[in-house]
Copies of this chain bind each other. A is one copy, B any other.
């Protein structure tokens, strides 16, 4: 198996997480994708800092990723427009696929970099530049490539969504919420790029470019920040059945593509209204497909590294099998796991006689099988009493035996229903 060498520029949250995963998960990635990926060079600014990486792959010269023949795929996660842009151009011109998470660079120079990549015949991939761990770039490029998209609306900045959620739910004012977000690490000491909408504007440019094929300059995005919002605005929105979100909106109008970022009232019934905290989401309206929602973590080293890694795998597939369109997935026919051993939670509705000791006998059945009861409530009294029992997770086989055991109790008239429950425990 051919090994594909990976070079990473930048070892911050994303670059560090990526490098460690390439090392720790090398075998798992090989088994899942059929690709052997090896991190060969990680370029850092400060070599003294311990990042938990083998010292022999630590490097300091960004352009070495271009000249090093052991680096087949270049990952740019330094951020900023320069020198990141120089590195990307040089790597693409040298025929190396480039993966980046750099929304600022892609927004500012996207069409130029895509053209250089096309000339060189190598991919330029940037799934992580918008929505962190959410796959949104590839769906726009592929599954939705034939769709006439009308509008894209996104919550694409986690800092401001965290702050707006807090203002909406606690009634706190802007300054208090900003201070709290800074304390918790959700906002930076200088929060300008987030609260002014600049970060969202970069992402809006990229979404618009892929949705409509037209790349608007970031400086032409109509942009309003969240710093003018007051508690009274959230109170007024609530009275109207709405909440306030910082939305990035791109739409095709008769006069061209319009891209804007501003605080926006949206109905509480809208799918974007339920997107809370640092979560990001992109909502797409298309002529044929209707409405789509993609939601997930918009930032963070680990989730963003997942998207970068996905792009690295795509690039590596192109290197290992450049002239064949291989099915990009490896599967094997497999046995299913042991269903009886699967741990599930259940909710049981039991018609009982409201007689002394019935609860003890029911609890005894569960207890004897090692099934622990999470909650129990009784509705009604006497002959018409109903028990509603929610269990903790326990093996299917034990749960089933408990149900059988209940049916055998004289004080149980009927196990009226037994339905599994998910999403309640981690």
Contact = CB atoms under 8 A, between A and B. Distances in A.
Contacts of A176: none
A212 to B, nearest CB: 8
Interface in A120-134: 121-124, 127, 133-134
Contacts of A331: 110-111, 114, 209-210, 213-215
Interface string A183-218: 000000000000000000000000001100111110
A9 B28 CA distance: 39
A360 interface: no
Contacts of A294: 292-294
Contacts of A273: 423
B419 A33 contact: no
A171 interface: no
Interface stretch (A53-61, A63-71, A236-244): A236-244
Interface string A227-239: 0111011001101
A4 to B, nearest CB: 13
A291 interface: yes
Contacts of A420: 262-265
Interface string A332-376: 111111110110000101000000000000000000000000010
Contact of A139 (B139, B247, B288): B139
A105 to B, nearest CB: 15
A145 B296 contact: no
Interface in A301-347: 302-303, 305-307, 309-315, 318, 322-339, 341-342, 347
Contacts of A260: 339, 342
A309 B153 CA distance: 23
Interface string A164-176: 0000000000000
A213 B305 contact: no
Given A265-B422, A337-B253, A347-B265, A139 B145 contact: no
Nearest to A343: B253
A271 interface: yes
Interface residues of A, number: 136
Given A213-B32, A341-B255, A133 B334 contact: no
9 contacts: A17-B288, A114-B329, A133-B290, A147-B309, A256-B334, A256-B338, A258-B336, A295-B295, A322-B324
Given A135-B138, A258-B337, A288-B306, 4 more contacts: A114-B331, A118-B326, A143-B311, A256-B334
Interface of A: 17, 21, 25, 28-29, 31-33, 97, 110-111, 114, 117-118, 121-124, 127, 133-135, 138-139, 141-148, 153, 209-210, 213-217, 220-222, 228-230, 232-233, 236-237, 239-240, 242, 244, 247, 249, 251, 253, 255-260, 262-267, 270-274, 286, 288-297, 300, 302-303, 305-307, 309-315, 318, 322-339, 341-342, 347, 349, 375, 377, 379, 386, 388, 390, 416-417, 419-424
Closest 5 CB pairs of A and B: A256-B337, A214-B334, A146-B309, A135-B143, A135-B139
